[in-house]
Structure 1
Amino acid sequence: MLALLIDWLLAGLIASVLTGRPMWAGGNDYSLMHTTAFFAMSAILVGLVGSTIGHRLCGLRVAPVRDSKTYDGSPGLLAGIIRSLLICLVIPAVVFDRERRGLHDLAAKTIVVRR
């Protein structure tokens, strides 16, 4: 949760710079830019590097789940896009299985692990 909050705040700062409005001012153009910045930042960083800035600060990373249950490498851009899109929809992120993997991780075939 903390990693998500950090990433959401960073996306808010990016949206503030791009719209010229402070985070607390809100508005439709700011909200759209905030969500777009969060999606882009999350999809690109998770897909290519395996972690967002929030994940790094919290000592986490997103790893692909392979058939052999090894968690090496980065998930790939497509998995990052799927995962980020579903997180932006919120519901898949709060519904999870016995292993505590949210629907966004199940759909992208990823898992959050400690670094």
Structure 2
Amino acid sequence: MDNRQAMGSWLSGPRAAMEDAGADFGYRGEQLGLPEEGPGSIARPGRRLGALAVDWALCVLIAYGLITDGYSQATSNWALLVFLVLSVLTVGTIGFTPGKRLFGVRVVALETGRVHPVRAALRSVLLCLAIPALVWDRDGRGLHDRLARTVELRV
């Protein structure tokens, strides 16, 4: 292996290096029985981050306009509480938040397809802690989704 190949494998990450060595990881969602692309496939990180940004902006706006007088540290704290309530209520009833709807993403339970409110609450609390959402598995699901046994799909 020359220096360029070594540098390329380092920049591409461990998955690409293992695939170059002959390991077959399949596509994201294959282990879950989901299609590779299109509706019903695992939502890509860009869609999920965009939806999160829209939801967070909406919650900050609500906290700024309805709860606090002017922007302060309390606004961010209230926005997190509004985000938690919004996420539990919307994901637990219809399967998506306003941002997820805008970006064509839906949260479903692996077994039933419908997210039970208790699962939505667990998923939302873990999402608010941030760290579980930053730890992903091979299928691109965050730890919060794995523990709640849910998955975010493209609509």
Q: TM-score range by the shorter chain?
A: 0.7 to 0.9
Unpaired runs of at least 5, structure 1 = none
Asked if residue 10 in structure 1 is aligned to residue 58 in structure 2, the reply is: yes
Matched-pair identity in %: 38
Residue matched to 2:153: 113
Q: Over the residues paired in the alignment, what is the CA RMSD in angstroms?
A: 1.3
Report the Cα offset of residue 20 of structure 1.
3.6
| Aligned residue type for 1:99 | D
Asked if residue 101 in structure 1 is aligned to residue 141 in structure 2, the reply is: yes
Report the Cα offset of residue 5 of structure 1.
0.3
Pairs aligned (count): 107
Unpaired runs of at least 5, structure 2 = 1-48
Task: Identify the match of residue 47 of structure 1 among 92, 100, 124.
Answer: 92
Report the Cα offset of residue 34 of structure 1.
0.7
| Aligned residue type for 1:51 | F
- Provide, for residues 19-39 of structure 1, a one-character-per-residue CA deviation record: whole Å limited to 9, x for no partner: 2434xx222x22221110000
The TM-score normalised by the length of structure 2 is 0.66
The TM-score normalised by the length of structure 1 is 0.87
Secondary structure of 1:63 counterpart: strand
Asked if residue 58 in structure 1 is aligned to residue 108 in structure 2, the reply is: no
CA distance in structure 2 between the aligned counterparts of 1:49 and 1:17, rounded to whole angstroms: 26
